[in-house]
Structure 1
């Protein structure tokens, strides 16, 4: 029997980007369905988030994600532009956010079209892999093609079904909040949350306890 997990994932999270290749490999090797559920980053959902955290934390994250990318052999560079508009000196989040809403809606539309995880990986590889102006030109369309999705349909859905997609994203965020953890990437299996790209092995162990089998 195919097992299913929920994956709560953010386009602004470098850890989400780093986890995605391993999750794709997990899905390819094992009889596992991954329900991709994009969420907005905490910086947007909670305007006071960065005001409450230790100021050393962002500096640690930068160091950590660079070394993790090196260890995994993944390209990594600061995004140009950042998926959210934020003054990194003051940590203030801008009122206008031209990118993250569109990205998250596209991710939800891709999940509905059939493979949100593959689309997220292709897009994140551009955002976090060093592609300048990833939001312009044909970059997103090329990412959709890599994922085997219809870019024109995704683009139309994002522009014409904004309210419906935002409602689906709000439902994802509510389910994440109810899961017992707030961070991303967050994998949820049978009500049990597994937070972080460093918990994928633990997740696999639990899935195998519950009868996960390799694909034939």
Structure 2
């Protein structure tokens, strides 16, 4: 029996990155299709979130994401540049955002082609795996190629069909909230949400209860 699940995901979320490779591996090794459903990060949806967050939020999150990466042996480095332009001292989000809209639209365009998980994983490894200037040169083109896609084709669609892509991305956010959560990464399987990079084994366990088998 073949299964399907939706993965709600953000290019700015380090925990999304820390989950994507393992979800990609699960889809490759087991009879389940995982559909990428990219959403815009909190910095876009709730720009004042970081200004309102507890003072310890950032330092704890930084410590935790690094140890999660170390625990799982996942390459991890600070994004250079950050997909969101933000003042580190004040946590204020800049009005101009040259990266995140393109990335998220590219992700949705890749998802239309059934290759969203691979694209997100390859791009995520650039952004969060330590690549310098991931937005320049042929970094993104190479990531798209490794996922079986053409960056030129995706970029053309992201420009010509931006409004429809944004409508689909907004629908992803609505679907996430209907499923019972608001954050990423969240896998939704048969209406049940599994939030966080630490819920992958539990999501797999639930699928196995329903009959999931290896390929």
**TM-score clears 0.5:** yes
Question: Whole-Å Cα distance in 2 between the matches of residues 5 and 114 of structure 1?
Answer: 13
Which residue matches 1:119? 119
Question: CA-to-partner distance for each residue in 1:14-62, whole Å, 9 max, x for gaps?
Answer: 1111111110111111100101100010121012211332120111111
Shift, 1:114, TM fit: 2.3
- Report the equivalent of 2:153: 153
Match of 1:58 in 2: 58
Kept in 1: contact 2:43–2:49 (CA 8 A): yes
What secondary structure sits across from 1:92 in the alignment?
Answer: coil
How far apart in 1 are the matches of 2:88 and 2:111? 31
Q: Distance in 1 between matches of 2:15 and 2:133?
A: 21
Distance in 2 separating the partners of 1:31 and 1:100: 32
Give secondary structure in 2 for the equivalent of 1:93: coil
Q: Does structure 1 retain, via aligned residues, the 8 Å contact 2:35–2:114?
A: no
SS in structure 2 at match of 1:86: coil
Unpaired runs of at least 5, structure 1: none
1:57-108 Cα deviation digits (max 9, x unpaired): 1111111111111122221111011000111111111111110010000000
Shift of residue 2, structure 1, vs aligned partner: 0.9
Which is further off, 117-126 or 72-81? 72-81
Between the aligned partners of 1:144 and 1:113, the Cα distance in structure 2 is 12
Task: Give 5+ residue unaligned stretches, structure 2.
Answer: none
Aligned to 2:82: 82
> Aligned residue for 1:211?
211
2: CA distance, partners of 1:106 / 1:53: 29
Give the aligned length: 215
Task: Provide the residue aligned with 2:168 in structure 1.
Answer: 168
Moved more, 72-81 or 98-107: 72-81
Distance 1:100 1:135 in 2: 11
Instruction: Give the distance between the partners of 2:74 and 2:22, measured in 1 at CA.
Output: 11
Query: Which residue is equivalent to 2:46?
Result: 46
**Matched residues in 2 for 1:145 and 1:134: separation?**
15
Aligned partner of residue 166 in structure 1, secondary structure: helix
User: TM-score when scaled to structure 2?
Assistant: 0.97
Name 1:130's counterpart in structure 2: 130
| Residue in 1 that maps onto 2:92 | 92
Displacement of 1:180 in angstroms is: 1.3
